[in-house]
Structure 1
């Protein structure tokens, strides 16, 4: 039975800003969940099964790299024992001045990436060296770890086929807005609310977003609210009305119209198209 809410995990707690460990070698199915406040970089060099990324189910073809930004929803369904590494880190792990290249890599990265590494790139030695550096923590270990992380993220962007919009850094105000979006939704529903929180006008926020992403802030909000709606429809047993109220719609019928306008399907039709019934 599915949950009525989507749990948010924080495996770093309030004090850690970086952690690397071996992937748990268990055949299991995890519950859909999000990660709050930290990034995840996962490398599987063995394993079979499926990996859910929001509303899409992907077959696992190890060796593969996975990158998840804060707020991403995912879950695993393994059919053989997985082996690999998990790296978790927060934005506070990077210094915006000293680690400018690493920060830029995070800014140009999409929120989720799943990419096969193939034979040309073998990341296992890098992850292994990073874990050894993390475990012994000698002088200068932190910049060494950041160097490994920068190399992995840069290579991941090279081998992933992303839209051109991700080829230039998302600067300043736009980056802060995109980071705030999963934190404040569904409580913030308009560009005006986000702009007020960021201390700018809605016009300036929309202009900044168009300049760096090609879409207005309002469009980003709509896309994110649709994503949240799909998450609840697919990964919880909430009724359509309950999903509507969860996403701060006072009238479920308006939520149904909103959803159908942007997807071509009612919420019930969307749920049935994925889950049947």
Structure 2
């Protein structure tokens, strides 16, 4: 039984590398669906045309365009014009949990945000430009400068978006669970398995999730399983039996019933809707 997803998992940061920024390569090409392992990605596109697909959503580029991708999210590009912009990657370890509490709070407050289209704030592009200059010409205080720019950037995002009044600091267990869930490949099926990994009880985990998100831990697990199923149905050549096996369902018939219960259609119907 295979346990590895055929969707590519990329890691563009070396084992001891925690931060990187670069300009977009001046190329027009379609990338393959892939995930990023263990790091966040901030993308600012100043010019360019085409599409950016994140999970099952297809976004038409509307420059200036901004994207925030979390570890484990799947995406790919379809450019029709040479892109101009920046790609910034950083691991959570880059942010000191003691000294940079504010940045970690800002990251959490960004919640489910993945995109700010036509972000016309003239400072945003300049922030990326300045961070690139610091990265390419490092000084002894380069990390502090970069983190200072990140604080400004995240504060601008907070000002731009309408945030939920939920207090994310009150339920850190839920945040840890959702982070673990997004990176578990394939996703585990039982709340108890995640509770064991997080050294808590299933009851505590469910309580934290309900208070923070309004959904139980089992609902989040089901949603993640459906998301992984859709990824593989749309972006691989695996048949339904192989996908059921990949996602550790006992048999394909149960997987089909599970998928239909949560989406209203079978995996075959879902694939047929896109490919006929």
* 8 Å contact kept, 1:67–1:113: yes
Q: What is the aligned residue count?
A: 271
Cα deviation, 1:223-253, whole Å, max 9, x if unaligned, reads: 1111111111111111111111110012100
* 8 Å contact kept, 2:52–2:58: yes
* 8 Å contact kept, 1:52–1:74: yes
Q: Residues of 2 paired with 1:158 and 1:260: CA distance?
A: 40
- Alignment partner of 2:176: what SS? helix
1:148 pairs with 2:149: yes
Partner of 1:46: 47
1:172 offset after TM fit, Å?
Answer: 2.1
1:161 offset after TM fit, Å?
Answer: 5.6
TM-score normalised according to structure 1 size: 0.93
Q: Residues of 2 paired with 1:156 and 1:57: CA distance?
A: 22
Q: Residues of 2 paired with 1:168 and 1:79: CA distance?
A: 41
5+ residue gaps, structure 1: none
1:117 offset after TM fit, Å?
Answer: 4.0
Structural RMSD (CA): 1.6
5+ residue gaps, structure 2: none
Q: Residues of 1 paired with 2:187 and 2:59: CA distance?
A: 31
* 8 Å contact kept, 1:69–1:111: no
1:111 offset after TM fit, Å?
Answer: 4.6
1:61 pairs with 2:62: yes
1:24 offset after TM fit, Å?
Answer: 1.0
- Alignment partner of 2:226: what SS? helix
* 8 Å contact kept, 1:26–1:81: yes
- Alignment partner of 1:150: what SS? helix
Cα deviation, 1:106-162, whole Å, max 9, x if unaligned, reads: 112235511124434441111111111112221222111011112222323433466
Comparing 207-216 and 43-52, the one that deviates more = 207-216
1:68 offset after TM fit, Å?
Answer: 0.1
- Alignment partner of 2:71: what SS? coil
Partner of 2:232: 232
Comparing 137-146 and 108-117, the one that deviates more = 108-117
1:265 offset after TM fit, Å?
Answer: 0.7
Q: Residues of 1 paired with 2:223 and 2:122: CA distance?
A: 34
